[in-house]
Structure 1
Amino acid sequence: MIRRSRVGRPSPARRSRRCGRRRRLGLGGEAVAAAPRVLRKRGRLVIGGLGSTPVCELDLKSLVRGANTIVGVRGRSPDAVTRSIELLADGRSGLEIVPSVDVDLDQVDNMLGRMATGQRPVSPHVVIRPQLRRPTDQKRGSLS
């Protein structure tokens, strides 16, 4: 748990001791190379703002065993990325109230066909979730 200062933001001392194994590393090849040692299981390394890409060696075996992912981002300042991550981590993004329709991979063709003929779903936001499985009593294509 991150304790908040009076203004609602983590105090500088607490900000440096993030929860669990969530860490912020400085930019550079050394920081990227250190990722396998500090990422938790199924952790994510986000790399952004690299002017000239550093060359480094990665412990791929540790990354694979930890089921870790590496994601590259661009186009935003480090402060904006940090703020976005904090909003998502605190559950204050507002994304949970955006209406959406979830479809599994078996329903993608049907959904695209319906949308092409003007039979749009209830929400304009369609999310493809490969892990989603349709209940056995639901007919194929009944998403409304």
Structure 2
Amino acid sequence: MPTHSAQATWNGNLQDGKGTFEGSTGAISGAYSFKSRFEGNDDTSPEELIGAAHAGCFSMALSNILAEAGHTPEDVTTDANVTLEMVDGDPTITTIHLTTKGVVPGIDNDTFVQHAQAAKEGCPVSKALAGVTIKLDAELVG
């Protein structure tokens, strides 16, 4: 299995500095800052990148679980909301809320939700983030 990498650079102090990141393939890159993490300006943030990674991994895992159960999905779309809060004076990622919707012929909503729960437990990014509360809402659509 391959090893994937990214690089980040930070210039200056915490509140006035700025940073950039880039994945080794060049497919992702951007700027981030104190304001993007703690005040929500238009730059990205490490939390946004974690959300994108988690949503992507979860969608792939759920699609695989569904296909292995004989229900190849037409579409699985997942949003990941990553919450950064102060805990004991330290900024901490406390919660990731996954909201997924799937178009999967031949399956009922309860079965979809069961498979989504299995994907939440089994996707590699969920496992890497085991110290974070991960919530899940799943809905079969279409």
TM range (shorter): under 0.3
Q: Which has the larger radius of gyration?
A: 1
Higher relative contact order (CA 8 A, sep 6+): 2
Larger strand share, 1 or 2: 2
**Normalising by structure 2, what TM-score?**
0.23
